Amino acid sequence: MAKQEEATFIQSAAESPTALLRELVAHLRQNRTQLREEWARRITEAGLLTAMSREEVFAEATTVYDNYVAVLETGSVEALEAYARDLSERIIPRGVETHEVLGIVLLLRDVLARSLFKKYQSDIALLNRVLDAYEPAANRIANTVGVSFVQERERVIRQQQEAIRELSTPVLQVRARLLILPIIGVIDPQRARQLTEQLLRGIRSNRAKVVVIDITGVPAVDATIANHLVQAVDASRLMGATVIVTGLSSSIAQTLVTIGVDLAKMKTVGDLQGGIEEAERLLGYKVSRVGEAPAQEETG
């Protein structure tokens, strides 16, 4: 009698992949504890996720497992996607690599497939139908997790590149309301744009009134970069800050004139030291030179 019932169930289940998936989900839920442990063990054996402790691996494995089953059940990868991104965000800084993430997802796929194989091995035809229903869903899951991880990694790398670029030109606050932007090295349009944005944010957050942009360390300035410099000066003024440009070589000055910049409108001072003094005068500080200062000016 019981045998008869089971046969009928399997028969009807075989008719639709949805019903097969439902049965699969029930199986994975029933064997959750054992399959999850099996998976975590295989992860450790394969030498994956070595940057994480056993407990951490087990905790993440549990969540991935549950998300995995949920995808099979609902057919929607959204929740898994969100979790995968969140997971990636947590593990990328710890040095987890792309192959490890793909590795663990493929391992889970394998663990589950083996368990299905064991369950249905007596009926090869049914097993095939179950695997047919399982495979595409499992592939989709592996794909989702892999893509989320790679995208997150790319985002992190881009952010790090931005951060490195920002570090290479610090906006320094030398005293209240006075910022210095010492630019060193070649400027391309992308860096120029980033410098300007950084400067403008710096003006806002430091409530700066005067900015000294020192370009002594910039080897060459073409018309495009000169335009960016002018834009930085103009935008700073829109925010109420005065810009003093120092270290302008005569060839750069020539470029500025060529692109139609009225140098009389741009405050320029020979060297950084002179620029800071001018800035302090603008801010209303008394500038007094002591002892060695005149000598400095001679060398400057």
Partner 1 sequence: MRVPILKQHSYLIASIQSALTDDDLLQLRDDLVAQIGRFRSRGAIVDVTALDVMDSFAVRTLRGVAHMIRLRGAQTVIVGIQPEVAFSMVQLGLTLEEVATALDLEEGLAYLDDQPKSNGRHGE
Q: Under the criterion CB under 8 A, does residue 162 sit at the interface with partner 1?
A: no
Nearer to partner 1, 97 or 166 (CB): 166
Pairing between β-strand 267-269 and β-strand 178-184 as defined by DSSP bridges: unpaired
Look up residue 89 and give its amino acid.
E
Q: What's the closest the beta carbon of residue 256 comes to partner 1, in angstroms? A: 16
- The size of the interface with partner 1 (CB under 8 A), counted in residues, is 17
Q: Which of residues 223-252 bind partner 1 (CB under 8 A)?
A: 231, 234-241
Part of the chain binding partner 1 (CB under 8 A), chosen from 4-12, 57-65, 122-130, 192-200: 192-200
Q: Under the criterion CB under 8 A, does residue 203 sit at the interface with partner 1?
A: yes
CB 244 within 8 A of CB 269: yes
Nearer to partner 1, 110 or 234 (CB): 234
Q: What's the closest the beta carbon of residue 204 comes to partner 1, in angstroms? A: 5
DSSP annotation string for 131-157: HHHHHHHHHHHHHHHHHHHHHHHHHHH
Q: What angle do CA 14, 17, 21 make, to 5 degrees?
A: 100
Q: What's the closest the beta carbon of residue 228 comes to partner 1, in angstroms? A: 10
Q: Residue 56, class by beta-carbon neighbours within 10 Å (0-12 exposed, 13-18 middle, 19+ buried)?
A: middle
Q: Under the criterion CB under 8 A, does residue 201 sit at the interface with partner 1?
A: yes
Nearer to partner 1, 136 or 240 (CB): 240
Look-up of token digits 């592939």: 139
Cβ-defined contacts of 8-13 (< 8 Å, 24+): 10/123, 10/126
Nearer to partner 1, 92 or 241 (CB): 241
Residues of the shown chain interacting with partner 1 in the complex, contacts defined by CB under 8 A: 196-197, 200-201, 203-204, 207, 209, 231, 234-241
